[in-house]
């Protein structure tokens, strides 16, 4: 008791001393902002370039998970806005963004704008009451240039909070066009084709295996496995069931999910088919995801399912193109009538109610920015679902292909499910159980364990 009192006295004395000595430093601008206005702001911000008189000299801080070297092209793409309005953009990248953003909301230290890479985190931020609904201008841009799926992922309770920014496509299979050509293989367009090609490769080439994979990723080990299951479920059960599965209105171990996992197992857990260049299927658990597809270059493996961003993992000098060393084809659907796309992306959430912030958010939602960003990304590795993005502005062939897939009217986009599930599952048991699964645990135990770990509420 005496101890606690002492500590309290000390703490109070400390606070008093601190505020006395540093009160002269002045207080920083309020980063939190308020959301007094109930409805969306109806001011037209699309003509941000004509608002110089109003915006000159202001600054906007943005906080993102995008760090060097990928941030350079982001900063470069804001130049047009900065020149035109006189607003200064302060960019801050942090790899621990997902952890630090909620913490900054708590301590009243929020940026003006955050690029949120997970719809689940957007929901959390909206729940704090500090996020500001998107202005009408942003709403119009989103309606005009993004699909309905994207609008939904940027909304909470049907109210749009955040316009989509970048995107990535996960439904890719990397392969070597040269190896395919030498053997006379065709890029498969249906799931059955894919399976018969797999069988054919296994029979044709005893020195290699049709598939290679790696689930290793430090504390996030297992996430490539979750992508596999999501991608296949999206194909076998369709987007509606996928949505129900993600929001847990059907159990995690629903028969449709077991069916999808069975299809994944038919590839990943068959020693005839995996793990090219590394050994038997259990090596998938210990292979780093960055290394997972590399055996393709050594002719030890034919196919590697991984997202578009895997392009940056090929060693320097590897030509990533349809006629190059490596290329990626769209992971085929069950048949050609539907085209589900699994992917991810960032969303622009705003936390300060000010014209310069809203004007900048409107700029980011517009095709002007998407095209500026495409031109600024000299090394490739960026794409947006913005339909106003001109594919020819993208530098790398794989980005162009991703943009075409995203803009395809037949495409049904679904966000990476593990990013939307409660983190106990999506960033916990889903990863660990998929890792155990590939090491040999059976399908049923795996799905049951994940279902059991779903938080009760």
Partner 1 sequence: MSTATPPPVSTEMAEDETHVEAKTPHGSGGSGRRFGRSATGNAARAVTNPWASAVAIIMALAWTTPTVGLLVTSFRNQQDIQETGWWQALSTGFTLDNYSQVLGGAEGQPPLTDFIVNSFVIAIPAVFLPLLLASLASYAFAWIDFPFRNALFVGVFALQIVPLQIALLPLVTMYQQIGINGTYWALWLSHSAFALPLAVFLLHNFMKEIPASLLEAARVDGAGHVRIFFQVLLPLITPALASFGIFQFLWVWNDLLVAITMLGGNAGEGSLAPLTMVLNNISGTLGNRWYLMSAAAFISIAFPVAVFLSLQRYFVRGLLAGGTKG
Q: Which of 91, 185, 191, 454 binds partner 1 (CB under 8 A)?
A: 91
User: Smaller CB distance to partner 1: residue 72 or 250?
Assistant: 72
Q: Which residue in 324, 302, 293 sits closest to 205, CA to CA?
A: 302
Contact stretch for partner 1 (CB under 8 A) within 49-57, 71-79, 243-251, 353-361: 71-79
Q: Which of 12, 14, 34, 203 binds partner 1 (CB under 8 A)?
A: 14
CA 265 remoteness from chain centre: 25
CB 213 within 8 A of CB 303: no
Q: Which of 93, 239, 367, 422 binds partner 1 (CB under 8 A)?
A: 93
Q: Which of 35, 123, 313, 400 binds partner 1 (CB under 8 A)?
A: 313
CB 198 within 8 A of CB 273: yes
Residue 173 CB, shortest distance to partner 1, in Å, is: 19
Calpha distance 259→298 (Å, rounded): 33
User: Smaller CB distance to partner 1: residue 29 or 445?
Assistant: 29
Q: By 3-state DSSP, what share of the chain in percent is helix, strand and coil, each rounded to 5?
A: 50, 15, 35
Residue 107 CB, shortest distance to partner 1, in Å, is: 4
3-class secondary-structure state, position 230: helix
Which residues neighbour 135 within 8 Å (Cβ) at sequence distance 6 or greater?
A: 40, 41, 42, 43, 45, 358, 361, 362
Query: Which string of x and - marks every residue 101-120 that binds partner 1 (by CB under 8 A)?
Result: --x--xxxx-----------
| 19 binds partner 1 per the rule CB under 8 A | yes
| 1 binds partner 1 per the rule CB under 8 A | no
User: Smaller CB distance to partner 1: residue 198 or 287?
Assistant: 287
| 223 binds partner 1 per the rule CB under 8 A | no
Q: Which two tokens stand for residue 291?
A: 């290394």
Q: Which two tokens stand for residue 290?
A: 């960055």
Sites for partner 1 among residues 314-343 (CB under 8 A) = 315-316
Q: Which residue has the tokens 């130049």?
A: 79
User: Smaller CB distance to partner 1: residue 92 or 148?
Assistant: 92
Which helix or strand (DSSP H or E) is residue 151 part of?
A: helix 148-153
Residue 36 CB, shortest distance to partner 1, in Å, is: 21
Long-range contacts from 28-34, C-beta under 8 angstroms, 24+ separation: 30/108, 31/61, 31/108, 31/109, 31/110, 31/111, 31/112, 31/351, 31/352, 32/105, 32/108, 32/110, 32/130, 32/351, 32/352, 33/110, 33/112, 33/130, 33/132, 33/351, 33/352, 33/353, 33/354, 34/353
Residue 96 CB, shortest distance to partner 1, in Å, is: 6
| 299 binds partner 1 per the rule CB under 8 A | no
Residue 284 CB, shortest distance to partner 1, in Å, is: 16
Residue 109 CB, shortest distance to partner 1, in Å, is: 6
Calpha distance 131→154 (Å, rounded): 12
Q: Which two tokens stand for residue 400?
A: 């162009």
| 63 binds partner 1 per the rule CB under 8 A | yes
Count the site residues for partner 1 by CB under 8 A.
Answer: 47
Q: 409-443 burial, b for 16+ CB within 10 Å, e for fewer? A: eebbbbbbbbbbbebebbbbbbbbbbbbbbeeeeb
Q: Which of 217, 299, 393, 441 binds partner 1 (CB under 8 A)?
A: 217
User: Smaller CB distance to partner 1: residue 49 or 297?
Assistant: 297
Contact residues toward partner 1 (CB under 8 A) are: 2-3, 6-7, 10, 14-15, 18-19, 22-23, 25-28, 63, 65-72, 75, 91-97, 100, 103, 106-109, 217, 290-291, 294, 309, 312-313, 315-316
């Amino acid at each position: 008791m005496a101890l606690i009192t002492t500590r309290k006295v000390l703490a109070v004395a400390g606070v008093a001393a601190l505020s006395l000595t540093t009160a002269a430093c002045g207080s920083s601008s309020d980063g939190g902002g308020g959301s007094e206005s109930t409805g969306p702001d109806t001011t037209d911000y699309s003509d941000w370039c004509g608002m110089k008189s109003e915006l000159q000299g202001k600054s906007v801080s943005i906080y993102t998970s995008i760090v060097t070297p990928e941030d350079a092209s982001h900063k470069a793409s804001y130049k047009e806005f900065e020149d035109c309005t006189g607003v200064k953009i302060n960019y801050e990248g942090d790899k621990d963004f997902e952890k630090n953003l909620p913490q900054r909301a708590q301590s009243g230290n929020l940026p003006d704008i955050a690029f949120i890479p997970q719809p689940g985190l957007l929901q959390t931020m909206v729940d704090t009451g500090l996020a500001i609904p998107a202005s009408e201008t942003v709403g119009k841009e989103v309606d005009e240039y993004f699909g309905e799926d994207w609008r939904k992922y940027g909304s909470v309770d049907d109210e749009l909070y955040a316009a989509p920014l970048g995107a990535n496509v996960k439904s890719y299979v990397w392969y070597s066009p040269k190896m395919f050509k030498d053997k006379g293989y065709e890029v498969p367009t249906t799931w059955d084709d894919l399976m018969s090609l797999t069988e054919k490769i296994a029979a044709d080439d005893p020195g290699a295996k049709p598939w290679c994979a790696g689930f290793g990723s430090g504390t996030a080990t297992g996430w490539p496995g979750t992508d596999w299951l999501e991608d296949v479920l999206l194909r076998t059960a369709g987007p509606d069931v996928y949505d129900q599965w993600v929001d847990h209105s059907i159990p995690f171990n629903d028969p449709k999910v077991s069916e999808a996992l069975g299809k994944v197992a038919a590839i990943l857990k068959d020693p005839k088919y995996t793990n090219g260049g590394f050994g038997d299927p259990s090596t998938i658990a210990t292979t780093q995801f960055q290394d997972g597809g590399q055996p393709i270059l050594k002719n030890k493996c034919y196919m590697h399912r991984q997202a578009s961003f895997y392009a940056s993992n090929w060693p320097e000098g590897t030509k990533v193109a349809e006629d190059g060393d490596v290329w990626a084809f769209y992971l085929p659907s069950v048949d050609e009538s539907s085209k589900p796309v699994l992917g991810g992306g960032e969303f622009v959430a705003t936390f300060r109610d000010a014209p310069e912030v809203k004007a900048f958010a409107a700029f980011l939602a517009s095709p002007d920015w998407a095209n500026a960003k495409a031109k600024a990304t000299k090394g490739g590795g960026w794409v947006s679902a913005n339909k106003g993005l001109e594919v020819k502005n993208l530098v790398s062939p794989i980005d162009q292909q991703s943009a075409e897939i995203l803009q395809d009217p037949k495409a049904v986009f679904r966000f990476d499910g593990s990013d939307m599930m409660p983190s106990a599952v999506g960033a916990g048991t889903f990863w660990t159980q998929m890792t155990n699964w590939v090491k040999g645990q059976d399908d049923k135990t795996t799905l049951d364990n994940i279902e059991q770990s779903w938080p009760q509420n």
